[in-house]
Structure 1
């Protein structure tokens, strides 16, 4: 099953005077791409100049029932409904009938109506809905001279998507590099400060193995509790800002990140274990005098 999709970023002004940027998504009313509404009416059966807005546009002063005029084109869109929050390139999405999108995309700014050229029946892409067992997209591409992409590949074509992914991955890599350095430095200072106590325990008969076990256990408690506290804090901040900025924290990603941070943090404590094993019991018996 296929349906056309048009995508373009534009700007408009409402009858309330609110100026907004929007990503116009042209869809066929009644198709599987047509959005389900949370308020008002959908595109099915609506007039040609209708629009279903993302909830993000409501934050910028657009309401159901408003009229929005596209800048430089004087194309009027009437907001008939609202759908869930969605954006494209950090711009709120507005769903319009495909023919209306074609007017927005291919109209010439400032051209008088008497000289209006025919609007081409083009679109940005065809969306496919394949059966659960999949379809041979290679066969389709060979037959119709098309190029089929997965949703993930299509996301990469969005403005700034790849660059933002590289930035976030770089931050995560540096997190894994910095964590063992910070944890290792903390336990290095802690071990130096505890040298007299370690020497006393050795003088009282504690084995090196027991000292190592205690040190590793203490480090594990600090690292695990610190990682868990950071995860809770991240989740709390996400709940606070989730309505204003794009935020996603899947449980699987959070679990993998927590385990990796804890592992590299414990690896950093390995730098201090040599000082623990070299604690000299003679220190407490006056060997330094």
Structure 2
């Protein structure tokens, strides 16, 4: 490590270029990771907040909630410690006085359902003309006790829950009666349509009924949110490809530098320096390049995340970034291995101009 650091300090420009490239590639990795995490969180956060055990959909829905059609009476066929009948609706909301619309995800369920988050301002909805909204909707210019319009219905915001999203949109919870009026235009008094039954605790279902039920885990439910899995796979594939790029770049640069130092290695070998020591020195240089590049890239990524617009989904997942940091350092060292053969094959006599 001593020799590696001394050489890096001596050839600052040469190694500075390698570190610079490492910083740029690592920066792209962390930014893509942040975007991937932001999109994933934006799609799933509200579902994660439920801490549910299982989600019941109609069997013919192909695990897609919007295609699931159940009735409130189907909840009688489900046994669990806690259960909630939920309707899901993606629409837009606007202030009663007018203005631009904001996309929202609506969950229609009873106000005492276990999936309804805790209120941080105001109170729970009690009447069918009341609703509670996630805190991030307030950033769009809405406020507590304000009247809003969804379709042709006028509702009053009586409570605020912590910031959350579903399908990249702020979340609204409201009474099942008004939910069915909003989505279907009618209310059948007692057996309205719903999209899913969410449960907590050991869950069993009875299949004796007109609609066949399917029990899935919340994670499976999330993976089948339209667009969730393709987005995640696309961005992760780009990140994995960048790991290969780092390996190739560091390998090429280290190989070229090693070739330029052939005569120096020859002199050192002639003076009795062990080949293993030189090999460790090259690996140490790759390690230092990786460490410095990753550290600077993490700092730049965190600073960038602070100035990104709120409309851009971005999330810093410390565990994932730590894993990617380790991988980047490892692939940088793998790139350094490309020079091992050159180092081990250096002949002291030939390298210093002997015959």
Aligned CA RMSD, in angstroms, stands at: 2.5
- Structure with the bigger percentage of helix: 2
SS of the equivalent of 1:147 reads strand
Give 1:59 deviation, angstroms: 1.8
Give 1:3 deviation, angstroms: 1.0
> 129, 138, 142: which one pairs with 2:200?
129
Q: Normalized against structure 1, the TM-score is what?
A: 0.83
Q: Does 1:98 align with 2:176?
A: yes
Give 1:257 deviation, angstroms: 2.2
Could you tell me whether the CA contact under 8 Å between 2:85 and 2:194 is conserved in 1? yes
Structure 2 residues not aligned, in runs of 5+: 1-81
- Alignment deviations for residues 195-228 of structure 1 (CA, whole Å, 9 cap, x no partner): 3322332232222122112111222222233233
Could you tell me whether the CA contact under 8 Å between 2:287 and 2:333 is conserved in 1? yes
SS of the equivalent of 1:23 reads strand
- Alignment deviations for residues 77-126 of structure 1 (CA, whole Å, 9 cap, x no partner): 1111221121121111111112111111101xxxxxxxx68576111100
Instruction: Check 1:99–1:271 CA distance in 2 against 1; reply closer, same or farther (3 A cut).
Output: same
> 202, 205, 210: which one pairs with 1:140?
205
- Quick one: distance in 1 between partners of 2:109 and 2:309? 28
Q: Normalized against structure 2, the TM-score is what?
A: 0.69
SS of the equivalent of 1:261 reads helix
Could you tell me whether the CA contact under 8 Å between 2:286 and 2:335 is conserved in 1? no
User: What is residue 21 of structure 1 aligned with on the other side?
Assistant: 103
- Alignment deviations for residues 20-67 of structure 1 (CA, whole Å, 9 cap, x no partner): 111111121011112212222222xx2211111112211211111221
Instruction: Check 1:284–1:260 CA distance in 2 against 1; reply closer, same or farther (3 A cut).
Output: closer
- Quick one: distance in 2 between partners of 1:125 and 1:232? 43
> 214, 228, 231: which one pairs with 2:295?
228
* Bigger Cα displacement from structure 2, 75-84 vs 14-23: 14-23
User: What is residue 160 of structure 1 aligned with on the other side?
Assistant: 227
Q: Does 1:252 align with 2:319?
A: yes
* Bigger Cα displacement from structure 2, 269-278 vs 10-19: 10-19
User: What is residue 248 of structure 2 aligned with on the other side?
Assistant: 181
Could you tell me whether the CA contact under 8 Å between 1:141 and 1:148 is conserved in 2? no
> 247, 271, 286: which one pairs with 2:338?
271
Could you tell me whether the CA contact under 8 Å between 2:177 and 2:187 is conserved in 1? no
- Quick one: distance in 1 between partners of 2:179 and 2:139? 23
